[in-house]
Every structure is written in C-alpha cells, then in structure tokens.
Amino acid sequence: MKKTLILSVLFIGIGLANAQKTAKVDSQHGTTKQTDKHLEIDGIGHNNSYTLNGGNAEVSGGSNVITINGNVDKLEVSGTDNTVYVDKVTRIILEGGNNKVFYKSSSTKTGKPNIAITGVGNSVKKK
C-alpha cells in the first residue's frame, strides 16, 4: 500500500513537472488576453487573427503579424517590426520602430483614422 502511494505521488510529481515545462514552452511567444471590448497581445512572433467589435486593441513586442476582424476604436502598437491588419479603426497610436498598420476603413468623418506616430519607420496605410 505504501509503495503504491509513493509511486502515485512520484508519477503525479513527474506529471506536474512536465506540465510546467510545457507551459513555459507555450508561453515563449508572450501573452494574449481578450474580452468583449479589449484585446491585448504581448510578446514575440505571434501570427494570429482575432475579432473585436468595438473597444481597444494593444499589440506590443516584436515581429508579430496580427489580423483584427471587425471594428477597433483605438489600436495601440508598440515595439518593433509588428504588422497589424484591421478592418475598421478610429484611432491608431504607433510607438517604436518599423511597425506597420493596414486598415480597410475608418468611422471618422474624413474616412481616415486619427493617427499618432512616435519612432522611426512606422507607417499606416489604407489597403
């Protein structure tokens, strides 16, 4: 009985150790958090699509390629070499270097989003 209990505890411990290793490997890219009105992506090398219907999106880190379907009130991109494709956006804030945002439309009167750019090599283009 004691041997079975000891072996069970040993196997559970090994399983937990392996689960922790897997979590570390999976989190190598960083984090992604999404609620109904907020999307937050942080890390390196994300290549994903999301849907947001109103609210804000934040992309930070480096070498991320993000597609946001739907409408974004405010998009903030910081870091380096990020590329974001968004359907509809009202306001864009770019900080860092070589970040690119491509948008299809904007809900402003001019049809162009309000843009604030800080850094070198950042660009916003209608596509």
CA–CA gap between residue 93 and residue 14 (Å, rounded): 46
CB atoms within 10 A of CB 82: 26
Is pTM beyond 0.75? Reply is yes
| Nearest C-alpha neighbor of 49 from the set 65, 33, 73 | 65
Q: Which amino acid is at 36?
A: D
The tens digit of pLDDT for each residue in 10-19 reads 444 444 444 3
77 vs 24, higher pLDDT = 77
- Which token pair is 85? 């494709």
Mean per-residue pLDDT for 41-45? 95
